[in-house]
């Protein structure tokens, strides 16, 4: 109870004008010693009503924004999450868990666990007319020097299920023929790639630079 009260007071203080005028950073350090679940920070947001029209409102539990201003040529991380096993600890480590929970059987809208989005303006900004997507990567797998992942992508048992048709591991069906023919589906080397030929509807191992 003391821990919950301290978290509430910390949140109230963080949102107060006095806190916003003070130091720019807030930090909470805690070393739990009791069994059970330990939260560094926990929040719950539940909407009870909204707009009369469907799909007009957004209920967002947390939004984090990091911006570098003009002349600042540095790194910017929207969020950094780390799960550690210190020496002597044998633990299952999960850096981030993104879960979608649907309890309504008639809900046929998409359930998306992870949405990788690239933008070139604010949500209501004017389209600049150029993608500005040079060297962009949707998902990047990296590692410290001296280590690395044993497997890049793994589907657990029961991870792919559908009530009709066949489950799909990788779905490119929404990409039209005039676009998918210009894509390297898998780039094995700079001049070796796996492509799809829309005319013959076959996969082609391509060797070349164009």
Mean pLDDT of 73-102: 97
Token couple for 157: 């048992």
What does the DSSP 8-state code read for residue 202?
Answer: E
Q: Average pLDDT for residues 124-136, to the nearest whole number? A: 97
Q: Which residue has the tokens 């497997």?
A: 151
Question: What does the pLDDT read at residue 19?
Answer: 44
With the CA atoms of 191, 197, 198 and 200 taken in that order, what torsion angle do they form, in degrees rounded to the nearest 10? 170
Closest to 181 (Cα-Cα) out of 199, 207, 165: 199
State the residue for tokens 């630079």.
209
What's the confidence (pLDDT) of residue 21? 54
- Find the mean pLDDT for residues 30-47: 92
Q: Tokens in use for 39?
A: 């939260």
- Which of helix, strand or coil describes residue 147? coil
Q: What are phi and psi of 105, to 5 degrees?
A: -65, -20
- In the chain, the percentage of residues whose pLDDT exceeds 70 is 89
Distance from C-alpha of 104 to C-alpha of 110, rounded to nearest angstrom? 13
Task: Provide the pLDDT for residue 23.
Answer: 64
3-state helix, strand, coil in the chain (%, to 5): 10, 10, 80
What is the value of pTM for the model shown?
A: 0.81
The DSSP 8-state label assigned to residue 99 in this structure reads: -
Sign of CA dihedral 88, 91, 95, 96: negative
Question: Which residue's structure tokens are 């720019």?
Answer: 24
């Amino acid at each position: 109870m003391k821990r919950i009260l301290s978290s509430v007071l910390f949140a109230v203080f963080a949102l107060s004008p006095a806190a916003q005028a003070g130091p720019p950073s807030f930090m909470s350090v805690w070393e739990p010693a009791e069994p059970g679940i330990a939260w560094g920070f926990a929040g719950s947001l539940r909407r009870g009503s909204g707009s009369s029209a469907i799909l007009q409102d957004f209920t967002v539990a947390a939004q984090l924004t990091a911006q570098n201003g003009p002349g600042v040529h540095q790194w910017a991380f929207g969020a950094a999450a780390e799960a550690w096993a210190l020496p002597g600890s044998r633990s299952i480590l999960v850096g981030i868990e993104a879960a979608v929970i649907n309890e309504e059987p008639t809900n046929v809208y998409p359930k998306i666990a992870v949405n990788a989005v690239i933008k070139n303006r604010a949500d209501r900004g004017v389209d600049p007319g150029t993608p500005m997507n040079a060297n962009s990567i949707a998902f990047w797998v990296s590692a410290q020097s001296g280590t690395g992942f044993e497997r890049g992508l793994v589907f657990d048992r029961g991870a792919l299920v559908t009530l009709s048709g066949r489950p799909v591991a990788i779905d490119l069906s929404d990409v039209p023929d005039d676009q998918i023919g210009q894509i390297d589906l898998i780039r094995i080397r700079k001049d070796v790639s796996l492509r799809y030929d829309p005319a013959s509807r076959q996969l082609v191992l391509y060797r070349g630079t164009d």
